[in-house]
Structure 1
Amino acid sequence: MRAEMPRWPWAIPALCAAAVLGGILLTLSEPEADTPYLLLDTVVGLTYPAVGALIVTRRPGNPVGWLLCAGGAGLALQALAGGYAWNGGAHGWPGAEVAAWATNWVFFLGFGPLLLQPLLLPDGRLPSRRWRPVLVVLLAEMAVIQVMVMFRDRVWVWGKERPSPFGFLSTETVVAPAFSVVIASLTVASVAALAVRVRSAGHEPNEDRPNHTRRRLVPVFAAVLAMAVALTADVVLPPVPPIGAWLEALALPLFPLAVAVSIFRYRLFDIEVLLRRTVVYVVVTGVLLGAYLVIVATLNALLRERGGTIEALAATAVVAVAFAPLRHAVQRTVSRLLFGNRGDPASALSELGQRLETSADPTRLLDGAAETVAHTLRLPSVAVLSADGTPVSVQGGVPSEGVRLPLLVGGREEGELRAAPRSPGEALSAADLAVLDDLARHLAVALAAVRLAREVQTSRESLVIAREEERRRLRRDLHDGLGPGLAAIGVRLDLIEATAPEAMRGPLAEVRQLTQGLVGDVRRIVHDLRPPALDELGLGGALEDLALDAEGGAAVTVTLPGPLPELPAAVEVAAYRIVQEALANALRHARADSVEIAVVAVPVGAPYAGSAAPARLVVTVRDDGRGLPERLVEGVGSGSMRERAAELGGLLRRTSGPDGGTTVEAVLPL
């Protein structure tokens, strides 16, 4: 059984949320507060600890979770300290000066780890040992700047600055430049570390899915890049207006959001189960707190003389009323993001129907069907298997666990649909299973259609092969048996006629003429059954003979890279007729000056068009003529070539180059 996960880390986001809320209430109770950095503290203090606690509960040994918690805690403490200093200074509360001093340095206890964590993504380790000196230098810089901001000569609280009771280092000439250098160092190192990881994905000894690794890191890399731009703007731009603070408030939440996306879609830390159950409430809480902040600030400006009580009550009422519809809207949006169209089966069926409709080849009807199902329900892997267990359509590999649905048509099991759970140990919901059942019925019909199309194609190929083999046998029998026999009869009749009485010569001449006519008929039948040159010269010799007989003065060459194996009769005839028609088109219509004919037998498993394939004969006819017209209309000859290739389960392609010329390529399975 799985060990129960510790719950105490959840106290971190709870305490951070309480600190943020306390800071907001304390700050907004007094007017004229500069709130951009309070908003930044609010956003980071709510989002980072929530994601960090989720990681800590499942991966306590991964420092990324602890750094996320530390980052949020530091800024949450700044919100609380700043609120206490702002309100306490106005009312003479004890410790207000200490709180103001702490506001200026406690944030870096979180801000430093926040910028350090991209170096350790996703497994909590550095990209390589060469990064250890970099980490040591960064930690030393963080320690030095932490001491410097603690003892600088000025303190700042929500827009107001005054001398520090504990500081002696010049803010303008010493601390500010040093702080900019440290922030720049952390930012550059973070971006560089993630860039190295993204670039080196797939080059590590145990890395067999480089694209998957890159997809895991790309969202995080984009978020870190946005953070770097925002931090640079905050350092470079003047403090008024606080454009840098606003950019940071927008960019910093992107990092935990990117981590969440990687967790949802690519299982970066394998904690999707818990995170999906809390993301809705995290989003709702953040939106409502932002709304609360705006409402209180607005009413505070309008009703300042009331002392802040009415503002807080009105904001609380608005937030309470808005909670239910907002939660519903966010739930619907997040559900679509995480679970796809399971709540809208009609859309899922429509998408699958469009995919099936766009398939031109009946035998490839299910190409992409598994991808459609996986995309529809946001599943990591889906597979459609035939009745014998052969994968017909696969997305993300064939699942070894999860849901297995039989695909039935008319009581016959056509195959099986397999769907993996979104994360290990999490079963698919009833809504997921309902959509899969609907999709399975349509997939079963499509799978049956694919099976029937393949059976028809197999039968067609068998008929064509049997027909051509029978024609070869008949030609051989007629050419070697009946034809010579009739010719011998004619010779005997000539001898008999020469020695027969005058009265018998007339009837014998008629019999001899009839025999000669039969010999001619046999020769015509033999020629029509199969090109004679194929049996006399083989395919290579027949094509060379065809090239020699070409009219029009064009240079026709035949290339055979190697000896051809013994070919089935149907393949020989199809190859010969395709070359014959392509050569006629090149000479008659394209007005080519040179034509190249190439025939090569490709063995089993040799790559072709990017993948391994069975043994096949590749026939190519290339000319230097006018090329294909822009508006191509397939004629009788071109249709005949395509039909001959399709009869054997092959394919035929016709293409033109940018400078003219036409290439006809036929691929015929052996």
Structure 2
Amino acid sequence: MALGAFRAGVTQNGPPDCESFWPVSGPEGLTDAGGAYEEERLSERSGGSAGTGGWPVPAGVLAFTSWLLGVLALVAFVAAEPTLDADQLFFLVDLLGAGVYGTVAGVVLARRVHPVPIILGLTGIGVGLAAFSYGYTQLALVRPGLPAVAAIEPLQNTAWIPGTLALFLVIPWLIRDHRLEPVARAGLLLGTATIVWYFVARTYTDIAQIWLIAPVVTVGLLAAADAAWRWRRGPVDERVGLGWLCLGTVLMALSFVPLALPPTWPSLWMLTPLIHLAVQAFYPAAILVSILRQRMWGLDLAVSRAVLAGTLTVALLALYVVVATALARLLPAADSVLAQAVAAGAVAVAVQPSRMWLQRRVHDLVYGEGRDPARAVRRLGARFAEAETPEDLVSELAAGVAVALRLESVSVWRSDDTDPVASFGNPTGHPTTVELIHRGAQVGRLTVTAPPGETLGSRSRKSLDELASVVAAGLVLVQATQDLDAARERLSTVRLEERRVIRRELHDGLGPSLAGIRLGLQGVRNLLRTDSDAAVRLLESLQVQLDHQVDGVRSLSRNLFPPILDELGLAAALEELAVQHARGGFALDVRAQLPARVDPYAGAAAYGIVVEAVSNARRHSGADGCRVEAVCAATESGGRQLTVTIRDGGSGFDAGREAGVGTRSMRERAGELGGTLVIDSVHPHGTRVTARLPLTAS
């Protein structure tokens, strides 16, 4: 059969049907794919309609047969060296369908037994036979005498029919994870009857095209309506992706409408294959969206996002070339090569914006906003602004990362926590972990899971790493806010304890003493008239008591914040402290190597720590003195640090003893400045208190 006659007959009587699996993404934010699969895990799902396990051997036979037919068809076509023509788009679709349908059917059927992959495999074999029949027929035109030409030639017009029509007349009724309802059973029978009617009537009768196409379109739209109803009202766990299945079924049914139009319509010979090429590039992926995204029949496959984006890009480029070539042929042009080149260039310029727009949409659907890190960071910045509390901030960041990169779940963890700080979504797959690094230190980790049926590609991982820095900054900010709140609470506690100490000193020391002096003065008043000498002796005793209390008040004031610390600095204040304790018989060996002026905040904290540590040594160590060292030195990071060490030779430090008010006060003073305080025992005996305080000025 001549090429023109064959394709003309196909245009009038029905298209060859060979779908190519390209990944797509739906409005639910769901992405699926075909063509190249990467198995990650298998999970059982109760209540499914499929059997447990798969059919590896039949799956391999289906895949191998489909590919073998496609390869043989291509070899025969190339060997025939036919003149290239736009009608050969049908042959290209057949080849792609044989390879893709066979591969998908083999991968799925090897894991789970179900009618859907079996139908896909038979479709791959059917379109493979149609492609082989066409290639073999073309080869027979240039090499007469090939065997079985008469038996093989009709397959190009018939072999594709059962599988292709079953794609949208039967499969939509079968994509579910529970028993078929009466409506689904009726639809299944109706779809099967329509396929039989179309095959028999088209092959063995001359019935008008309208009576061939009308039942196909009608039953196809009924299958789409059922998918739409289940998408809106069906079981919740089966709704995912059914919107795309509905849309794909509608498009497949409507793609048969041009076959009922008069063949004399202009450009119909090219319009029909282009429509089927576009629709059938979409519909197989819609089937997989419903299967893989729901993990239907216990099937759990995953495909890399890089494969999705690459496959879609190749498909768009191919479609771009096809459309540009077709439009160039349709445009009026002179016979000169220059005129044809100008016409082709004009078409390319006209189609290029559409291709660029589609490619951007592809990356949006596959990678989300992660394809543009700046855009994703702006989205996270908006999430920052919407947060009202620190906890809300981390939650908003987790949600922002999930939405920007189209992830199933995102969890933010601190380094040592066993529970996440914030979570978004419910993980069902294996998580991917990214460390949260801030200023070279790990502050937490980010765990994410891709939607079912997907794995994160290199681009998604790169975008995730870039967004992780924003999440790390947010986590540090939240931690700093919480630390500040805790520091405020601790500061309030310390101040309250200091006030209690002052109250105790006033109540238990100064108060009773002043009351005693008051009673003594009353006694003096009574003695003045009767015994003046006794009154004088009593006044002298009261004066001694009053001087002692004055010294106590001054000592309390100096311990809180001595004037000399503000006037002469930390070194002079420590020397004065040594003089005061020496009067009471406790020796302080002060060794201070300090600049003339020390950061006042660090100086006040260091003095308070020394006062408390010396008081503890005097009361509890049993020693008659201690050594105090204060040094300012540079740190490895380039800053400066004040180190204060108080060491005694007493009984040592009991690490198991509960910390008292004084010990907590020392730790709080150091912590408020971002410093550290360590208390330990030293060999052979004694206790050492070491405080390291960062300096902001020197």
**TM-score when normalising by structure 2:** 0.47
**TM-score when normalising by structure 1:** 0.49
Which has the greater radius of gyration? 2
